[in-house]
């Protein structure tokens, strides 16, 4: 039932401001055999989504297919009129979008949205519902019979992403297009979703096109990979061959950037000798919505030395960004003390002195919203100097070129508006603004999350340089375990507002890790194509969380998802942060023997995969 | 994730024809109001020889009113009241409303609460009812008119500014400025205001039109500008008898109100509506 795809000399053009057409996809040809999974990979702007959408005969506003042909089965998509395209889309070709949260209508139940295309094309409701339930089961969604009765906001992000895949599979399409379907998910969730997708595609024998920027994810999904850059095809080949022996220079570059992002022991500098701790947190709690509001941070105790980099990792909602807000004083502490250079800081912003504020600077995640679009780069960078150091505006302006050079930007950029900068440039300006204050502690909250691999790598290298050259202490917050492991000297792993592990970055390779650290580490895809198969996923987060819900205020916060959890032991008291044999601090009641024994059984294969 | 609307730097694009027409007419009325003493052929209070409700002639181009005064001159001087008073009132309303709205968005929750509930209270009173009460209490004079027009439109302007400012206030660059320790004044005027100018200016245009209409209504009821001065609403009212003799003295001030409000509306739509060429 499945049909192949043949794309022949495809050109897609966008009409420029002066009416001249300009090709954004040039001379792209490829074939996908029936039942095969092809990955389109490339950085943002490489045209991968544009091509994927063109397979459905769709181009975004302002673009058009200039020449070439796209055949799905026997049908030439480029030759179809609107009515024929409507009949094609959703029935023969289905599309899974990046953000399921945005793709579902929050006002309708899941089941009604999932079966909609089927019902519209004439299937009875009962038959369609039955089929939906079967798909939910195939996609490993919990409680398939009743899940459909929920509204989109009542299920988790990973479940929603699987539900949208079910929606796409409903009409038994010949071809399914996945457009970065796991990019918005946490690593632990990503694993489950990938697993479900791959099984579904295999079982149904569907031809699939998988769009992604992540080589490791693609390695798990695709039979073949097509590498794109600036709208033209760099190389196409079987997944294992391409990953082992890439032929184009660009693919080699991508693979190298990827390898650099993976940790190697030689890259991690020798940890500096013990110094006086610069920043100290003692039993800090914080709440959203007043003292009796939602607890967001619980019992945070840690310290940071001058000139070191502390990595903070965890899934979304684990309290990483809240920690940044508390340190800067935007969110007042509810309990505990924060000391800077031995001197206690006030819990709230207003009570801190200007100099205390100056010494802790924040760089936020999204460079797009971090810079005021109404100001020039010059005035953005000059302001902290005027504000903190009392310089006149003209004197501050004179320092701007030097500051731009410090973050390796062309001083000529000073007169631009943020809207005229690229994502990487914006993030550098964002960083330069924080440096303008001459801080002692720099908090980087997900600074590479919105950037391509290569650009993100350059930013983390820059941070590393700054740390070494100027002795700034850096708190590097990220959900990307791999990056943190590479750049940080010490790592704090956060879960549900608590630090569950605090240790030297090197110690993460030891078997003596918190179970949650293990889960995070084993969830990161590697370039090995058999990684997903080898990963024993008996601890799927959603299912576990559905089964055993612990009273979080009493027991260990990770109890519900823990492989090693012991009822009657772990769910009774909050475990303290205790030092283990390697000098790391771990919040787990299990003693070291238990750890070693269980890990030798359950996680040894995961370890090998990660470092393979 | 909710989309945060931050106005992009304005690109140069051609204004649609309707905006040019609107701008031209509104500009003409502004010139007329400014240059009234030079533009008017007669003193607005002078009674001509033609007698009341005379038809168009070479001395009185648009005829005379119910006392035999020159209609053209009276309409030209009326522009000063209608245009000037409404403009001042709308400026005052928008400036006050915007300042309070942004302050509420940036400031403490209790301040926002007090301001917003007060604004809600004011919005629930119909404008004309409010104006009638004010005139009944304080009598009708230019300062009272100005004050009542301005206060009528502050709550609406406050609402628009607050809603826009809350979006910008949640962005990272404002959070960073706040974490830097910047004061409220800096946050309001340097970080937030430049990003919400578009909705505030659009809103100002609408308030301006509403102010013209409310003031004309008041004057038509005899509660606005008092004789011998007259704005366009008062001119329509005092010459209402002329409607039976087809005198121009009724239709001209009414048409003046229409052209001014519609032209301002066209100009605003042209400035801030997305250009047709951007939607392909």
Q: Which one of B7, B172, B182, B197 makes the best mutation probe of the A interface by having the most chain A beta carbons within 10 Å?
A: B172
Q: What is the pLDDT of residue A594?
A: 58
ipTM of the complex: 0.70
What is the pairing mode between strands A232-238 and A224-229?
Answer: antiparallel
Give the distance from residue A251's alpha carbon to the nearest chain B alpha carbon, in angstroms. Answer: 33
Task: Out of A62, A365, A373, name the one closest to residue B6 (CB).
Answer: A373
Report whether pLDDT(B113) > 80.
Answer: yes
**Residue B182 contacts A, CB cutoff 8 Å:** yes
Residue A407 confidence class, pLDDT cut points 50, 70, 90 = confident
Residue A510 confidence class, pLDDT cut points 50, 70, 90 = low
Give me the domain span that covers residue B253.
17-278
Give the distance from residue B180's alpha carbon to the nearest chain A alpha carbon, in angstroms. Answer: 6
Q: Would you say residue A24 lies in a domain?
A: no
Residue A596 confidence class, pLDDT cut points 50, 70, 90 = low
Q: Is A250 found in the same domain as A212?
A: yes
Q: Would you say residue B4 lies in a domain?
A: no
Q: Would the pTM of this model clear 0.80, i.e. be above it?
A: no
Q: Is A195 found in the same domain as A246?
A: yes
Give me the domain span that covers residue A548.
515-610
Q: Would you say residue B8 lies in a domain?
A: no
Is residue A349 within 8 Å of residue B178, measured between CB atoms? yes
C-alpha torsion sign, points A322, B111, B115, B150: negative
**Residue A114 contacts B, CB cutoff 8 Å:** no
Kindly state the average pLDDT of the residues A249-275. 61
Comparing A39 with A266, the larger pLDDT belongs to A39
Q: Would you say residue B256 lies in a domain?
A: yes
Kindly state the average pLDDT of the residues B29-36. 90
Q: What is the pLDDT of residue A547?
A: 35
Q: Is A348 found in the same domain as A224?
A: no
Distance CA A235, CA A46 (A): 13
Residue pLDDT, tens place only, A301-312: 888 888 889 999
Report whether pLDDT(A546) > 50.
Answer: no
Residue pLDDT, tens place only, A334-347: 888 898 888 888 87
The size of chain B, in residues, is: 280
**Summary mean pLDDT of chain A:** 80
Q: Which one of A374, A389, A396, A442 makes the best mutation probe of the B interface by having the most chain B beta carbons within 10 Å?
A: A374
Q: Is A333 found in the same domain as A185?
A: no
Residues of B with Cβ-Cβ distance to A437 under 8 angstroms = 180
**Residue B275 contacts A, CB cutoff 8 Å:** no
Residue A599 confidence class, pLDDT cut points 50, 70, 90 = low
Q: Is A301 found in the same domain as A281?
A: yes
Q: Would you say residue A152 lies in a domain?
A: yes
- pLDDT above 90 covers what percent of chain A? 9
Q: What is the pLDDT of residue A565?
A: 73
Residues of B with Cβ-Cβ distance to A357 under 8 angstroms = 179-181
Q: Do A349 and B8 touch (CB under 8 A)?
A: no
Is residue A226 within 8 Å of residue A38, measured between CB atoms? yes
Number of domains comprising chain B: 1
Residues of A with Cβ-Cβ distance to B4 under 8 angstroms = 369
User: Comparing A4-13, A127-136, A536-545, which segment has the lowest mean pLDDT?
Assistant: A536-545
- Helical segments of A9-154, H only: 48-54, 82-88, 100-103, 110-114, 116-120, 125-138, 144-147
Report whether pLDDT(A229) > 60.
Answer: yes
Residues of A with Cβ-Cβ distance to B191 under 8 angstroms = 372
**Summary mean pLDDT of chain B:** 86
Three-state secondary structure of B228-256:
CCCCHHHHHHHCHHHHHHCCHHHHHHHHH
Report whether pLDDT(B1) > 70.
Answer: no
**CATH number where B95 lies:** 1.10.3720.10
Q: What is the pLDDT of residue B120?
A: 93
Residues of B with Cβ-Cβ distance to A329 under 8 angstroms = 179
What is the pairing mode between strands A335-340 and A343-345?
Answer: antiparallel
Q: Would you say residue A391 lies in a domain?
A: no
Last residue of one domain, picked from the residues A257, A289, A324: A257
User: Comparing A261-265, A451-455, B76-80, which segment has the lowest mean pLDDT?
Assistant: A261-265
Kindly state the average pLDDT of the residues A538-543. 46
Is residue A216 within 8 Å of residue A612, measured between CB atoms? no
Q: Is A190 found in the same domain as A41?
A: yes
Distance CA A426, CA B185 (A): 26
Distance CA A428, CA A409 (A): 8
Q: Is A143 found in the same domain as A99?
A: yes
Report whether pLDDT(B154) > 90.
Answer: yes
Residue A269 confidence class, pLDDT cut points 50, 70, 90 = very low
Q: Would you say residue A404 lies in a domain?
A: no
Q: Is A209 found in the same domain as A167?
A: yes
Report whether pLDDT(A419) > 50.
Answer: yes
Q: Would you say residue B3 lies in a domain?
A: no
User: Which of A241, A176, A237 has its CA nearest to residue A202?
Assistant: A176
Q: Do A365 and B172 touch (CB under 8 A)?
A: yes
Q: Which one of B7, B179, B185 makes the best mutation probe of the A interface by having the most chain A beta carbons within 10 Å?
A: B179
Burial of A544 (0-12, 13-18, 19+ CB in 10 A): middle
Report whether pLDDT(B79) > 60.
Answer: yes
User: Which of A455, A431, A449 has its CA nearest to residue A377?
Assistant: A431
Report whether pLDDT(B12) > 60.
Answer: no
Distance CA B17, CA B33 (A): 25
Q: Would you say residue B2 lies in a domain?
A: no
Q: Which one of B171, B180, B190 makes the best mutation probe of the A interface by having the most chain A beta carbons within 10 Å?
A: B180
Q: Would you say residue A568 lies in a domain?
A: yes
Q: Which H or E run contains B169?
A: helix B142-169
3-state helix, strand, coil in chain A (%, to 5): 40, 25, 35
Q: Is A583 found in the same domain as A451?
A: no
Buried b / exposed e over A175-206, threshold 16 CB at 10 Å, is: bbbbbbbbebbbbbbbbbbbbbbbebbeebeb
Give the distance from residue B78's alpha carbon to the nearest chain A alpha carbon, in angstroms. Answer: 40
C-alpha torsion sign, points A70, A74, A80, A82: negative
Q: Do A330 and B178 touch (CB under 8 A)?
A: yes
Q: Would you say residue B5 lies in a domain?
A: no
What strand order describes the sheet that includes A63-72?
A: A21-32, A5-15, A63-72, A75-76
Residue A268 confidence class, pLDDT cut points 50, 70, 90 = very low
Last residue of one domain, picked from the residues A487, A509, A531: A509
**Residue A375 contacts B, CB cutoff 8 Å:** yes
Kindly state the average pLDDT of the residues A515-524. 79
Report whether pLDDT(A534) > 80.
Answer: no
H and E: helices and strands count for chain A: 25, 22
Q: What is the pLDDT of residue B27?
A: 92
Q: What is the pLDDT of residue A270?
A: 43
Q: Do B179 and A357 touch (CB under 8 A)?
A: yes
Q: What is the pLDDT of residue A543?
A: 43
Kindly state the average pLDDT of the residues A406-432. 86
Q: Is A495 found in the same domain as A520?
A: no
Q: Would you say residue A20 lies in a domain?
A: no
Number of domains comprising chain A: 3
User: Which of A181, A287, A236 has its CA nearest to residue A41?
Assistant: A236
**Residue A17 contacts B, CB cutoff 8 Å:** no
Q: What is the pLDDT of residue A150?
A: 86
Nearest CA in chain B to A369: B172
Is residue A430 within 8 Å of residue A371, measured between CB atoms? yes
Residue pLDDT, tens place only, A146-155: 888 888 878 8
**CATH number where A293 lies:** 3.40.50.300
Distance CA A320, CA A322 (A): 5
Kindly state the average pLDDT of the residues A339-368. 85
DSSP string, A247-287: -SHHHHHHHHHHHHHS--TTTSPPPPPP--EEEEEEEEEEE
User: Comparing A277-286, A525-534, B85-94, which segment has the lowest mean pLDDT?
Assistant: A525-534
3-state secondary structure of A294: strand
Q: What is the pLDDT of residue B11?
A: 46
User: Comparing A215-219, A511-515, B239-243, B266-270, which segment has the lowest mean pLDDT?
Assistant: A511-515
Q: Would you say residue B9 lies in a domain?
A: no
Q: What is the pLDDT of residue A271?
A: 45
Distance CA A177, CA A275 (A): 54
Q: Do B195 and A372 touch (CB under 8 A)?
A: yes
Residues of A with Cβ-Cβ distance to B192 under 8 angstroms = none
Residue pLDDT, tens place only, B128-143: 899 999 999 998 888 9
Comparing A591 with B263, the larger pLDDT belongs to B263
Residue pLDDT, tens place only, A118-128: 888 788 899 99
Q: Would you say residue A338 lies in a domain?
A: yes
Q: What is the pLDDT of residue A345?
A: 86
Last residue of one domain, picked from the residues A257, A291, A311: A257
Q: Is A331 found in the same domain as A450?
A: yes
User: Which of A192, A218, A160, A183 has its CA nearest to residue A37?
Assistant: A218
Q: What is the pLDDT of residue A535?
A: 66
- What interhelical angle do A453-470 and A249-261 show, nearest 10? 50
3-state helix, strand, coil in chain B (%, to 5): 70, 0, 30
User: Cis omega (within 30 of 0) on the bond before B228?
Assistant: yes
Q: Is A124 found in the same domain as A47?
A: yes
Comparing A274 with A318, the larger pLDDT belongs to A318
Q: Would you say residue A343 lies in a domain?
A: yes
Q: Would you say residue B7 lies in a domain?
A: no
């Amino acid at each position: 039932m499945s049909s192949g795809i043949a794309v022949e000399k495809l050109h897609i053009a966008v009409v420029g401001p002066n009416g001249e057409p300009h090709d954004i996809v040039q001379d792209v040809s490829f074939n996908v055999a029936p039942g095969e999974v092809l990955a389109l990979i490339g950085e943002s702007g490489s045209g991968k989504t544009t091509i994927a959408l063109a397979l459905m005969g769709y181009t975004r506003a302002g673009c058009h297919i200039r020449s070439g042909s796209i055949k799905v089965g026997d049908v030439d998509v480029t030759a179809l009129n609107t009515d024929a395209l409507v009949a094609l889309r959703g029935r023969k070709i289905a599309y899974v979008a990046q953000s399921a949260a945005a793709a579902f209508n929050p006002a309708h139940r899941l089941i009604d949205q999932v079966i909609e295309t089927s019902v519209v094309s004439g299937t009875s409701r009962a038959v369609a519902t039955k089929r939906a339930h079967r798909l939910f089961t195939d996609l490993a969604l919990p409680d398939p019979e009743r899940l459909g009765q929920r509204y989109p906001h009542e299920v988790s992000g990973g479940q929603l992403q699987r539900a949208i895949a079910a929606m796409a599979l409903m009409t038994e399409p010949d071809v399914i297009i996945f457009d970065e379907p796991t990019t918005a998910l946490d690593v632990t969730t990503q694993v489950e979703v990938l697993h479900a997708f791959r099984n579904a595609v295999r079982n149904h024998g569907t031809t699939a096109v998988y769009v992604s920027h992540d080589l490791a994810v693609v390695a798990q999904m695709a039979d073949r990979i097509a590498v794109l850059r600036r709208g033209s095809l760099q190389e196409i080949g079987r997944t294992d061959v391409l990953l082992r022996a890439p032929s184009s220079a660009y693919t080699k570059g991508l693979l190298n950037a990827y390898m650099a992002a993976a940790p190697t022991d030689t890259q991690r500098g020798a940890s500096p000798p013990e110094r006086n701790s610069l920043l100290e947190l003692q039993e800090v709690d914080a709440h959203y919505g007043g003292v009796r509001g939602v607890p967001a941070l619980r019992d945070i105790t840690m310290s940071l030395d001058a000139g070191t980099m502390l990595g903070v990792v965890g899934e979304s909602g684990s309290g990483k960004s809240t920690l940044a807000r508390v340190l800067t004083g935007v969110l007042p502490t509810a309990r505990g003390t924060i000391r800077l250079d031995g001197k206690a800081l006030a819990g709230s912003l207003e009570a801190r002195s200007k100099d205390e504020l100056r010494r802790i600077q924040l760089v936020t995640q999204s460079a797009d919203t971090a810079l005021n679009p109404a100001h020039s780069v010059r005035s953005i960078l000059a302001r902290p100097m005027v504000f903190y150091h009392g310089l006149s505006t003209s004197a501050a302006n004179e320092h701007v070129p030097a500051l731009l050079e410090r973050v390796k930007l062309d001083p000529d950029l000073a007169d631009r508006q943020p809207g005229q900068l690229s994502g990487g440039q914006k993030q550098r300006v964002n960083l330069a603004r924080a440096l303008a204050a001459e801080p002692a502690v720099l908090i980087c909250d997900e600074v590479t999350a919105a950037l391509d691999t290569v650009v993100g790598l350059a930013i983390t290298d820059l941070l590393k340089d700054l740390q070494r050259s100027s002795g700034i202490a850096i708190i590097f917050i990220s959900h990307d375990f791999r990056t943190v492991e590479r750049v940080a000297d010490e790592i704090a792993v956060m879960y549900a507002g608590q630090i569950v592990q605090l240790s030297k970055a090197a110690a993460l390779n030891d078997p003596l890790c918190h179970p949650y650290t293990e889960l995070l580490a084993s969830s990161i895809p590697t370039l090995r194509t058999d990684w997903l198969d080898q990963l024993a996923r008996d601890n799927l987060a959603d299912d576990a969380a559905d089964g055993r819900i612990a009273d979080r205020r009493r027991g260990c916060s990770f109890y519900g998802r823990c492989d090693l959890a012991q009822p009657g032991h772990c769910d009774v008291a909050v475990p303290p942060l205790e030092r283990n044999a390697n000098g790391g601090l771990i919040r787990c009641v299990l003693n070291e023997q238990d750890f070693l024994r269980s890990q030798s059984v359950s996680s040894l294969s995961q370890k090998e995969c990660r470092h393979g | 994730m909710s989309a945060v609307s931050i106005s992009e730097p304005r690109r140069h694009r051609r204004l649609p024809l309707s905006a040019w027409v609107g701008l031209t007419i509104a500009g003409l009325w502004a010139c007329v109001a400014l240059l009234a003493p030079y533009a008017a052929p007669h003193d607005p209070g002078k009674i001509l020889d033609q007698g009341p409700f005379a038809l168009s002639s070479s001395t009185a181009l648009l005829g005379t009113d119910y006392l035999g005064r020159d209609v053209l001159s009276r309409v030209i001087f009326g522009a000063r009241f209608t245009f000037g008073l409404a403009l001042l009132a709308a400026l005052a309303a928008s400036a006050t409303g915007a300042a309070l709205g942004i302050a509420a968005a940036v400031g403490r929750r209790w301040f926002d609460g007090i301001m917003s509930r007060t604004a809600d209270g004011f919005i629930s009173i119909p404008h004309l009812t409010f104006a009638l009460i004010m005139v009944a209490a304080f009598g009708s004079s230019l300062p009272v008119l100005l004050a009542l027009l301005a206060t009528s439109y502050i709550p609406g302007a406050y609402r628009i500014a607050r809603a826009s400012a809350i979006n910008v206030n949640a962005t990272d660059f404002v959070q960073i400025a706040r974490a830097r320790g910047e004061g409220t004044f800096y946050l309001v005027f340097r970080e937030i205001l430049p990003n919400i100018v578009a909705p505030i200016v659009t809103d100002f245009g609408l308030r301006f039109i509403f102010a013209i209409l409310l003031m004309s209504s008041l004057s038509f009821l005899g509660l606005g500008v008092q004789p011998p001065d007259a704005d366009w609403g008062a001119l329509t009212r005092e010459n209402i008898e002329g409607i039976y003799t087809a005198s121009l003295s009724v239709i001209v001030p009414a048409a003046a109100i229409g052209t001014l409000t519609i032209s301002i509306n066209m100009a605003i739509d042209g400035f801030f509506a997305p250009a047709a060429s951007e939607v392909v």
